[in-house]
Chains A and B, each alone.
Chain A
Amino acid sequence: MVVAVSATLLGILVAVPLFRDTRPGAPFNQACAIAGTICLLMPAVFFFAKRGGAAKNPPLWFVLHAICGFMGIFLISIHVASVSALSPALVPLVALMFLVCQGFWVRAFLTRRLSFLFARSPKSFDFGTALPDNRAAIGAVIEQKTALLAMLDPQANEATFSPRLRHWLRAPLKALRYDLLARREAALVGARARAGFVLSYARQLHIAVAAIFYLSLLAHVVVMLFFAGYAAKGGEVYWWHIANWGSK
């Protein structure tokens, strides 16, 4: 991890001054953007592979997602080396920077705190201030989950079930309702609250920002391809190199 981060940082520090005088849409910069984007699709593939059952070795996929993230940001840094003005195109860039930095921080530092959670829930054993008695409410949620599960996945056991990718694809509304009930139960149980906001929600935040990144990246590509004039703001549309191939 340290090697990957160091190499990425070094690469960016070298690349940005080197390509400062180029244009984002120049052939090399654009090729880097395309290659970077392909790299950055890997985390999304990891996301789905992990949930869809396609990943035989999820930890290896995790490592690939991290490496591709580092490679991706390095390549994108070449693409954006000369950018100095604010524009909507910076949204995916900012999101990407956040994802890489936060992802590294979570893995390298925050997870240490996960190990410190062990044996820190004394209230569950009647030590310390008493827990609110949520049994009835939790029981009601479990009943609702059980009833819903009979429709969502009749073969599944509520005790061990949580919606998988296939549930989300086949019955998204039921999966969503089930997921909301599960969140309701978790809130009543209170374990996440006791673990602390940062520890409990750092991963969710990572996924949410990743979604913003992919959507804004998609928007950027669509605008640059199909609304080039708008993107050029009246200036030269110089980045349609593929369309120009062979024109001479």
Chain B
Amino acid sequence: MTVAPDNPLSLLIDLERCIGCKSCEAACKQSNALGPHTYRNRVMWYGEGEEQTEQFRPALLDFLTVTCQQCERPACLRACPVTPKAISKDPITGVVQINEDRCTGCGECAVSCPYGAIGYNAEKHHAVKCDLCAHRRAEGDGPACASVCPTQAIQFGTRNDHIAKAKAEDRDVLDTDHFLQKPATVYFKRLGDRDKTAAEVPNLMADDAARANLTSDVQHGTFDRATREQAEEAPAIKHKGGCNICFNACPITYELRDGKVTNIYGTKDDPIFGGRICPKSQMTLQMYGNPDRLLTPLKRVGERGSGQFEEISWDQALVEIAAKLTQVRDQYGPEALAIQAGSRTGVLNIMGAVPLFADLWGTGNLAATEPFCDLGKSVSLELTQGSTMLANVYTPEDIGSAGMYVYIGDNQAETRPVNFGLMNNWRLQNKAKLVVVDPRQTVTASKADEWLAIRPGTDMALGLAMIHHILSNALQDQHFCDTWMEGFEDWRDYIFAKGYDADWAAPITDLPAEKIRKLAEEIARVDGCMIYLSRGVNQHTNSAQTNRVYQFLVAITGNYGRRGGGYFNVSSEPDWKYPEVPTSRKPQTRPAISKNPADWVGAMLGEAQYPIRAMITGNNPLGQWPNLNRARRAVKGLDLVVHMDLFRNATSDHADYVLPMASGIEKGGTTRFAEDRRIVWNDKLIDPPGEARSDHWFWIELGKRFGFDDILKDRYKDPRVLWDEVVAPTTPGVRGITTKRLIEQPSRWMRIPAKDEDSIAPDTLYLEGTTAFDAPEGHRFPTPSGKLEFFTPTLEGRFAAMGLTALPEFYTEKPSAHLAPTLRYSGEDVVSSFFHADTYAEKGTLVAPSDRPVVSEFDTELVTGRPPAPHFHSWTHYFWQAQEMWPQLYCQIHPKKADALGIADGDEVLVRTENGEVKVRAWRYAGIRENAIFIPIGWDEKQPYHPAESVNKLTGLALDPISQQPNLKLHMCNLSKV
């Protein structure tokens, strides 16, 4: 890079690539020790003007990253009244810098900058601005924002290089020199950029008053300049590991000084991710040493739900919990204990310590968050391909070579921004088409070539209609169908017999038949199509069947087991097996009440085969479970509730004991499995705060009170021992992934499957000519037949036992009962054959469509889902910066609907369903079905900054009979302005 006065250093910001995730904001604040309201860069969201409501119109959402333009004629510098000026411009690099030691805080620069790119620290009273991370450049690095950007929307270089890149890639550059300041920052326009004169920032993002409670008091650790400067006197030691928040397991590098974490960035030399991470990984800085962390065990002293506790010792807590568990077991049996582990709890516990304890104790009522996230996918993968391991990986040769990407109910840009960034770069590079099917225009959809605003719960109908069209027009890969599919003809004949064509699907899906046919043809004809499904498909009562339908679609189009084509549905787990406990040590147990913990509520209320009287839980089930009001009533009546977490939340208030837990590098262990079959190892690098302990420490200590320590051994408190001796040997796919190997890896990650320490996992699985992992020779897929199995007599028998068929008979959610068959529960519980442990499940039967729509006061579709990228479930609500980015619970509502109800942007709105009501702020957004609203998950009323009632007060509990995945994507509601 040749820097010269006429070729200054600058940032390139690509508006096509930017997904508004705010990772750059997080990086900037951690790198420059900036607190709330003090910005050197900021990403704003813009919704399209309300008159732009043409159906299926993509790009209704835009993002603008604002940072210093490093002008050649900087207005800020000229406005500075101090002599010598507190702002200077480097004559060589062109970087405009503030000397904060000379700044008197008059603010003249801020009001003079035409780009709104001068920040201000209102606590310390001085201006701040981007200097392209001078301190990092001095060490030969580049700006923090560019280093982390998940989509590489921000790049660092010289202005001439950016302009040359624009020419090379045939990209238009945004003209920002309206004021003849000669800005150096280069913006690439969106492809097919349009007039944005009607674009508006949602009130939610621009409401400074809503963020007023975020003062310097919330800062801690590295975000406080004095603390940081003191810390920087110690040398930095870097440790590689992975982010432990979500299931993307992004490789990260922890920077420790004097035993404290001072920075968290992406691992720059990772061959795939190259340092890209989302804001959540970085904001875990606000988890370590957070003043709101639980520090000691607490015992309830007030009424349950009152939130009154006293501090007790660990010993007292363990002794008392053990005594109460014994009472429960003696009175109701061991199954009366239910255990919910969660995403924070970690793989070591979910697959190691917890099932060991549960087996020794004698309860099958054991669950993690899978039944809410993707159990429908896991069940359907096991049925169809005989393994839960997904085929494809994020490499240029595999996913990067696809000719088309179709996302159905998967908002990857907000849920896994880094993977979306990889895909998005490849699709731009290869000019591959991107289609998104979703009831609302998510960030993912806003980048798509085409957005299909489908009716929630009808993705299966869309899939069936596409299959019908492909088969009707002989567009299928007949070789694959003949060779590698079991039950192809059965499905084909059934789909034809049922008449599941595009014209049938159009009124059900609310999509034009022509669009359905076109999409089917494109998928069939393109050389490699990646079909991504996720929660939008999984969280329905037809979850397993819908997943099977799309597996069928992928298969008949020859996209199964190839590079650049495939079926995807986060995340990709090995075929887990629980650690073995000697039979002699296992009490005889009754089947589990349900695979889905929310369905334990009936047993808690005494309405099931046997009662559940005690619960030990991580995470926040009393914010997470559907039909929350009923769930809370049930939990209030339990004999024992133990809550293990990092922070107090809604669940804590219902607990008898609240236990302080450790997370991430406070306890060490693995991340969860990413969708491309990666797992990352984290060493224990720091001590947890106060008396917080790892989850497995708790289970081992509790086990000791019951004499389990010969199996749940004390030495398993070392996470490496627990992984190497318990978890890894049990599951063949991870047997070869020892901690020794993981630690030897440059970025500490490996892919599965690896059966022994000499094995290296292949990139793409199930390729033609290969034998599947752990399968008989010649079995391309690890099913009994070696083929993808869609219909066999055995399968049919299993489905029939649940009142359904293995053939793809379409049904949907009750609100669409006038359009298609729906599910009716029989009231009869049977032991399901779809799970590895005996579990009760309620049979269902399909009922014919009703004559007319149900007339009800609840007339609006309610869709729930993940909020934008900075949030993940409840724990980011304790990070001040996530709160600064997205503070309040909101609902996206179409302007036409809002107008009809007299609701303005930012108004407080009361949303009601038959299950409850919540108050939210309105976000008028044209990118949603006109009769739908969207409310995100994760908020609860006990959070410190912007508490709000959980959206699950609105949802009900209806389960897929096959997978026991609940419908969380379609409820009927009404709303009114408060």
A contacts, CB < 8 Å to B: 50-53, 55, 57-59, 61-62, 107, 111-112, 114-122, 124-131, 133-135, 138-139, 142, 158-162, 164-165, 182, 186, 188-192, 194-195, 199-200, 203
Contact yes or no, A119 B104, CB < 8 A: no
Determine if B174 is an interface residue (Cβ-Cβ < 8 Å): yes
Known contacts A117-B120, A158-B73; is A125 also within 8 Å of B64 by CB? yes
Known contacts A59-B104, A118-B120, A119-B42; is A159 also within 8 Å of B75 by CB? no
Known contacts A192-B111, A195-B111; is A50 also within 8 Å of B82 by CB? yes
Q: Which chain B residues (796-843) contact chain A, with CB distance < 8 Å?
A: none
Known contacts A58-B86, A129-B197, A162-B78; is A114 also within 8 Å of B110 by CB? yes
Closest residue of A by beta carbon distance from B105: A111
16 more contacts with CB within 8 A, not counting A114-B110, A122-B199, are: A50-B81, A51-B81, A107-B125, A114-B111, A115-B122, A116-B208, A121-B117, A122-B64, A125-B115, A125-B174, A126-B176, A128-B199, A135-B178, A159-B72, A162-B80, A194-B116
B contacts, CB < 8 Å to A: 37-39, 42-44, 46, 62, 64, 66, 72-75, 77-86, 89, 101-108, 110-122, 125-127, 174-176, 178-182, 187, 196-201, 206, 208
Give the residues in chain B near A114, CB-CB below 8 Å. Answer: 107, 110-111, 120, 122, 127
Give the residues in chain A near B73, CB-CB below 8 Å. Answer: 142, 158-160
Contact yes or no, A160 B77, CB < 8 A: yes
Which of B112, B176, B206 has the most chain A CB atoms inside 10 A of its CB? B112
Known contacts A59-B104, A124-B176; is A189 also within 8 Å of B114 by CB? yes
B707 to chain A, nearest CB (A): 60
Which of B46, B75, B89, B179 has the most chain A CB atoms inside 10 A of its CB? B179
Known contacts A50-B82, A138-B180; is A127 also within 8 Å of B46 by CB? yes
Instruction: Report which of B44, B82, B112, B180 forms a contact with A122, defined as CB distance below 8 A.
Output: B44
Known contacts A115-B119, A119-B42, A191-B75; is A186 also within 8 Å of B176 by CB? no
Known contacts A59-B102, A122-B64; is A162 also within 8 Å of B118 by CB? no
Contact yes or no, B180 A115, CB < 8 A: no
Give the residues in chain B near A117, CB-CB below 8 Å. Answer: 110-111, 116, 118, 120
Instruction: Report which of A57, A115, A122 forms a contact with B39, defined as CB distance below 8 A.
Output: A115
Give the residues in chain A near B44, CB-CB below 8 Å. Answer: 119, 122
State A117–B175 Cα separation when bound (angstroms).
22
Contact yes or no, A125 B187, CB < 8 A: yes
Instruction: Report which of A57, A62, A139, A194 forms a contact with B105, defined as CB distance below 8 A.
Output: A62
Contact yes or no, B119 A192, CB < 8 A: no
Contact yes or no, A119 B108, CB < 8 A: no
State A131–B107 Cα separation when bound (angstroms).
24
Instruction: Report which of A107, A131, A192 forms a contact with B178, defined as CB distance below 8 A.
Output: A131
Give the residues in chain B near A115, CB-CB below 8 Å. Answer: 37-39, 119-122
State A127–B104 Cα separation when bound (angstroms).
32
Contact yes or no, A203 B107, CB < 8 A: yes
Closest residue of B by beta carbon distance from A62: B104
A selection of 28 A-B contacts at a CB cut-off of 8 Å is A50-B104, A59-B125, A62-B105, A111-B105, A114-B110, A114-B120, A115-B119, A115-B120, A115-B121, A115-B122, A118-B42, A118-B118, A121-B115, A125-B176, A127-B46, A127-B62, A128-B197, A131-B178, A135-B179, A159-B73, A159-B89, A160-B77, A164-B83, A186-B112, A189-B75, A191-B111, A191-B113, A195-B110
State A188–B179 Cα separation when bound (angstroms).
8
State A162–B117 Cα separation when bound (angstroms).
20
Give the residues in chain A near B111, CB-CB below 8 Å. Answer: 114, 117, 191-192, 195, 199-200
Give the residues in chain A near B89, CB-CB below 8 Å. Answer: 159-160
Instruction: Report which of B74, B83, B118 forms a contact with A160, defined as CB distance below 8 A.
Output: B74
State A114–B46 Cα separation when bound (angstroms).
22
Contact yes or no, B101 A111, CB < 8 A: no
Known contacts A116-B37, A121-B116, A191-B75; is A126 also within 8 Å of B122 by CB? no
